[in-house]
Chains A and B, each alone.
Chain A
Amino acid sequence: MELLQVNDPMEPANRGMFEVNRALDNTILKPVATTYKAVAPDFVRTRISNILANLRSPVIFANDILQGEFKRAATTFLRFFINSTIGVGGMNDIASALEIEGHDEDFGQTLAVWGVEEGPFVMLPLFGPSNPRDTVGLVVDFLIDPLRMWASNTERNFVPVLRAGTDAVDIRSENLEDLDDLEKSSLDFYAAIRSLYRQRRADAISNGEGSATVPAPSLGELPGGPTLEAAEELSRR
Chain B
Amino acid sequence: MLKRRGFVSALGGAVLLVLGAATPTVASSIETESSAFITALAKKAVNSLTSKDAARDQRIDRFRTMFNESFAVRSIGKFVLGRYWKKASEDERKEYLALFEDLMVVSYVDRFAEYAGESLSIKKTRGENKSTVTVFSEIERPGGARAIRINWRVGTNGTIYKILDVVVEGTSMSSTLRSDFSSIVRRNGGKVAGLIEELRTKTAELKSE
Contact = CB atoms under 8 A, between A and B. Distances in A.
Interface of A: 3-4, 6, 42-43, 45-46, 49, 93, 181-182, 184-188, 190-192, 194-196, 199-200, 202-204, 208, 210, 212, 214-221, 226, 229-234, 236-237
Interface string B88-118: 0000000000000001000110010000000
Contacts of B178: 4, 195
A165 to B, nearest CB: 21
Contact of B202 (A187, A210, A218): A187
Interface in B37-93: 68-69, 72-76, 78-80, 82
B34 interface: no
Contact of A210 (B73, B131, B151): B151
A207 to B, nearest CB: 10
Contact of A187 (B79, B111, B181): B181
B76 A217 contact: yes
A229 to B, nearest CB: 7
Contacts of B69: 237
A190 B187 CA distance: 13
B143 A216 contact: no
B206 A203 contact: no
B181 to A, nearest CB: 7
Nearest to A203: B170
Interface string B169-200: 11110111011111110010000000100110
B45 to A, nearest CB: 17
B172 A199 contact: yes
Interface residues of B, number: 55
B145 interface: yes
24 contacts: A3-B175, A4-B175, A185-B107, A185-B202, A185-B206, A187-B181, A187-B198, A188-B183, A188-B184, A194-B179, A195-B178, A199-B171, A203-B171, A212-B129, A214-B172, A217-B72, A217-B76, A217-B155, A219-B75, A221-B131, A233-B162, A234-B157, A236-B73, A237-B69
Given A187-B198, A218-B75, A232-B74, A46 B145 contact: yes
Nearest to B201: A187
Contacts, number: 142
Nearest to A194: B179
Interface of A is mostly: helix
Contact of B174 (A42, A216, A221): A216
Interface in B136-175: 142-145, 149, 151, 153, 155-157, 160, 162, 164-165, 167, 169-172, 174-175
Nearest to B79: A217
10 shortest A-B CB distances, which residue pairs? Answer: A203-B170, A42-B143, A195-B179, A191-B183, A185-B107, A217-B79, A212-B128, A219-B155, A188-B183, A217-B164
B125 interface: no
B35 interface: no
Contacts of A233: 72-75, 162
A24 B128 CA distance: 43
Nearest to B176: A195
B180 A219 contact: no
A14 B199 CA distance: 24
Given A181-B111, A212-B129, A187 B184 contact: yes
Contacts of A230: 75, 157
A64 to B, nearest CB: 19
Contacts of B132: 212, 218-219
Given A188-B183, A214-B172, A220 B160 contact: no
A221 to B, nearest CB: 5
Contacts of A182: 176
Nearest to A221: B131
A231 B111 CA distance: 29
